[in-house]
């Protein structure tokens, strides 16, 4: 499968269009999350689940020379092949695998999975799977949008609030150790004209979607009145008991 570098869900730094200001801003949001995650990394083994094309995996490895190894895992074969070509080295490896199928008998000291669980039909099961792969005393870093996104983004299957996300960690026996909040301001007119964030990537039948789901339309209205045209993201770092 060909790597689609214009996808809303697939950012490839080396292929970014310099004129795509919205895309550049979104890439910077992703890089900021990875920089935050890099500051939480513990010595030992690192797993980056849903690593995309691998730039974040490599960033964390480069910023943590004490790491034994870093493994990036993604379900998209084209993304993994790109990662192997551009970001792999003797400490950084990449593997194509579904997150729920991935197994590792040794476990990891740090697990990072950013903007992942909103994409799967069973986010609670995937989160629990990540916790199960974490060594005692290990750190899990994960992020989600905490303003509604399902209505606009057809790739997202569940909306989260900050309270929902924090509860997932508590219910899996984790303790919060750090947080990072982001706000992405959006100009609706520029968004609809842009290539990456144009109609081909956003939900094409939005009016019909809202007519079939009036509660989603009301939620969008309330969110816009409260936050304006903005998306908010929360990244949390949790620790498993030793």
pLDDT score at 115? 94
**pTM for the predicted model, two decimal places:** 0.91
The tokens 């691998």 sit on which residue?
54
Task: Mention the CATH class of domain 13-240.
Answer: alpha beta
pLDDT tens track for 143-165? 999 999 999 888 899 999 999 99
Residues 6+ apart with CB under 8 A from 222: none
Q: How many CA atoms lie within 13 A of 99 on its CB side?
A: 28
Strand spans (E) along the chain: 44-49, 67-74, 92-96, 108-114, 134-145, 174-185, 230-240
Residue 5 has pLDDT above 80, yes or no: no
Q: What is the C-alpha to C-alpha distance for residues 7 and 1, in angstroms, rounded to an integer?
A: 14
Q: What is the C-alpha to C-alpha distance for residues 157 and 105, in angstroms, rounded to an integer?
A: 30
Euclidean distance between the first and final Cα of the chain, in Å?
42
pLDDT tens track for 88-113? 999 999 999 999 999 999 999 999 99
Residue 235 has pLDDT above 60, yes or no: yes
């Amino acid at each position: 499968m060909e790597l689609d570098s214009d996808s809303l869900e697939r950012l490839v730094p080396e292929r970014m269009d310099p004129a795509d200001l919205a895309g550049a801003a979104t890439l910077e949001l992703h890089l900021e999350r990875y920089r935050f995650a890099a500051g939480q990394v513990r010595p030992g083994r690192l797993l980056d689940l849903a690593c995309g094309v691998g730039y974040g995996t490599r960033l964390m490895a480069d910023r943590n020379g004490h790491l034994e190894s870093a493994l990036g895992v993604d379900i998209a074969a084209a993304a993994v092949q790109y990662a192997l070509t551009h970001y792999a080295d003797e400490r950084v490896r990449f593997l194509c695998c579904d997150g729920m199928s991935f197994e590792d008998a040794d476990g990891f000291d740090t697990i990072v999975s950013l903007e992942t669980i909103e994409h799967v039909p069973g986010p609670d099961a995937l989160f629990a799977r990540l916790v199960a792969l974490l060594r005692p005393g290990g750190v899990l870093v994960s992020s989600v949008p905490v303003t509604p996104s399902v209505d606009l983004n057809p790739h997202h299957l569940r909306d989260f609030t900050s309270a929902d996300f924090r509860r997932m960690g508590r219910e899996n026996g984790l303790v919060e150790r750090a947080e990072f909040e982001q706000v992405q301001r959006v100009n609706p007119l520029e968004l609809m004209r842009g290539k990456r964030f144009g109609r081909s990537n956003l939900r094409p039948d939005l009016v019909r979607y809202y007519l079939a789901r009036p509660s989603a339309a009301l939620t969008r209205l309330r969110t816009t009145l409260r936050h304006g045209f903005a998306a908010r993201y929360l990244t949390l770092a949790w620790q498993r008991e030793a």
